[in-house]
Structure 1
Amino acid sequence: MDHVEIARELVRNRFPEARAAFLAGSVLTHRRTPASDLDIVVLLTGPPAPFRESLVHENWPVELFVQTEVDWRRFAERETAASSSPLLAMCAEGMLLTDADGLGAVLQAEARARLAAGPPPASAAELEDRRYFLTDALDDLHGCADPLERAYLVAELLQQASELALLAGGHWLGGGKWLSRRLAVADPGLHSRLAAGAAAAMSPATGAAGQFRDAVKEVLDAVGGPCWAGYTRRGD
């Protein structure tokens, strides 16, 4: 039995009353590996939804995201406000396993439209805040002589620079591998320069961080340049 049938069987046996269910994630793509899990979104009419559960079924790791339609919309709105919506992505790009009353098709069409529309524009204040924190971390890297500290600084800078580039360009954010994949689609060249530069910057070799600093500066220059002297915020 393949992964799709295993996912469908799990939903059928555990959630016979499901209104809809989606199978999503790398398991549906060429990126599937022996460690890939089955990400399954299940729509119910009420309790025990909402809940999230991790389990192993037929030797497959499974992540269940069980919701009602109301929960789905609440989660989608909350994630959209944060410019990162794995729920919309799972339903837009996933496979419908079951659709008892048409809800699955409706939510998939809505998820695709909302995902294509992009996240809400980042405010000028948010972009300036991110420029400030990225500038500050880049200054720390420039003066860092400890190779262990440098590893942490490079990791922080890679995430911050990638997120700033995505937000400034009106693209969705992501976490971990999905941050890499979002930037690779939005700007393949920048993604390559940041990732390759970060790998080089982890090296203790003299000057190895130069390539990475240049890539981070590229991100800063695209949104107004470094921001530090004169930066101020009122309130909390």
Structure 2
Amino acid sequence: MTPAEIAVALVAARFPDAVAAFLGGSSATGARQTSTSDLDIVVVRGDGAAVFRETTTSQGWLVELFVHTPSSCRHYWDLDAAARRPPLLRMCAEGVQLVSVEGGAERVRTEARRRLAAGPPPVGEDEWAARRYGLSDLLDDLRGAARGPELVFIANEVLTATCEMALLAQGRWLGTGKWLARELERLDTGLLQELTSAHAAAVGGDGQALTCIVERVLGRVGGPLSTGYHVDGHLPQAVPAP
């Protein structure tokens, strides 16, 4: 059986009340499927049904179930947007349709695609300043680090922060792990290749190429920021007298 056929059978057995279901992730198309790929299945039931996430197995496959209602989909899509990471949106917008009752999947997919195409919320001035400051600080650490364990961790942080800044500068979605790489690949394959090559060189002790890329990406959003960075603190609210 194909991954989609296994997913359809699982949804039918576990969720006969489903109005929509989608198979997302690498197994949906097989294009990036590996020996450790699992089945990411979004199930949508009517409002009032239980909402949960569950890891299980089916016919030898590891399965990640994301069980929702139309209302909970919108709630978690909002959380996706706030975090600028759209895993549930992508599964609903781009996944393989498994179940649709009275147009349920089409309605979910249409809204998911609209939200995904709209992109994440814009980055405000305070967040840009914080991100520029954080990456500038990491860049100083990279320049001063000696070869060893610390350099590996610094280079990893620099890689992630630079990818995120490049994506946000173009109003694009973020991701974690392999999904961050895939989001950058959608935007700029050349930059992804440059960054991964420079990161490998930096871990080996030569951070020059990675430093140059970071400086270039920082230049797109106002340049490095260090001296002059200021953030007001917040005191806790006064505790009322007894």
> TM over 0.5: same fold?
yes
Q: In the TM superposition, what whole-angstrom CA distance separates every residue of 1:130-184 from its partner, at most 9, and x where no partner exists?
A: 0000000110111111510000001111111111111111000011101001011
1:221 corresponding residue in structure 2: 219
Aligned equivalents of 1:68, 1:110: Cα separation in 2 = 14
2:57 corresponding residue in structure 1: 56
In 1, are the aligned partners of 2:147 and 2:203 still within 8 Å (CA)?
no
Q: In the TM superposition, what whole-angstrom CA distance separates every residue of 1:7-60 from its partner, at most 9, and x where no partner exists?
A: 000000011111111111111231111211110000112565211011111011
2:26 corresponding residue in structure 1: 26
The one-letter code sitting in structure 2 at the alignment partner of 1:65 is F
The one-letter code sitting in structure 1 at the alignment partner of 2:165 is L
Bigger shift: 171-180 or 41-50? 41-50
Q: In the TM superposition, what whole-angstrom CA distance separates every residue of 1:49-79 from its partner, at most 9, and x where no partner exists?
A: 2110111110111100001111111000111
Aligned equivalents of 1:99, 1:144: Cα separation in 2 = 55
2:97 corresponding residue in structure 1: 96
Aligned equivalents of 1:46, 1:114: Cα separation in 2 = 21
Q: How far 1:89 moved relative to its partner?
A: 0.6
Q: How far 1:217 moved relative to its partner?
A: 1.1
Change (3 A) 1:104 1:92: same
Aligned 1:35-50 pairs, distance under 5 A: 35-46=36-47, 49-50=50-51
Q: In the TM superposition, what whole-angstrom CA distance separates every residue of 1:66-108 from its partner, at most 9, and x where no partner exists?
A: 0111111100011112211111111111011001132210110
Aligned equivalents of 1:46, 1:74: Cα separation in 2 = 12
2:237 corresponding residue in structure 1: none
Aligned equivalents of 2:201, 2:110: Cα separation in 1 = 42
Aligned equivalents of 1:146, 1:48: Cα separation in 2 = 54
The one-letter code sitting in structure 2 at the alignment partner of 1:135 is S
Secondary structure of the 1:157 match is helix
Bigger shift: 27-36 or 136-145? 27-36
In 2, are the aligned partners of 1:194 and 1:216 still within 8 Å (CA)?
no
Any stretches of 5+ residues in structure 2 without a counterpart? 235-242
The one-letter code sitting in structure 2 at the alignment partner of 1:221 is G
TM-score, normalised relative to structure 2: 0.93
Aligned 1:117-128 pairs, distance under 5 A: 117-128=118-129
The one-letter code sitting in structure 2 at the alignment partner of 1:9 is A
TM-score, normalised relative to structure 1: 0.95
Aligned equivalents of 1:170, 1:107: Cα separation in 2 = 24
Aligned 1:1-236 pairs, distance under 5 A: 1-29=1-29, 30-46=31-47, 49-204=50-205, 208-236=206-234
Secondary structure of the 1:128 match is helix
Give the superposed CA RMSD. Answer: 1.2
Runs of 4+ in 1 over 3 A off after TM superposition: none
Number of residues paired by the alignment?
Answer: 233
Any stretches of 5+ residues in structure 1 without a counterpart? none
Secondary structure of the 2:9 match is helix
Aligned equivalents of 1:127, 1:26: Cα separation in 2 = 33
Aligned equivalents of 1:209, 1:217: Cα separation in 2 = 12
Bigger shift: 76-85 or 133-142? 76-85
The one-letter code sitting in structure 2 at the alignment partner of 1:53 is E
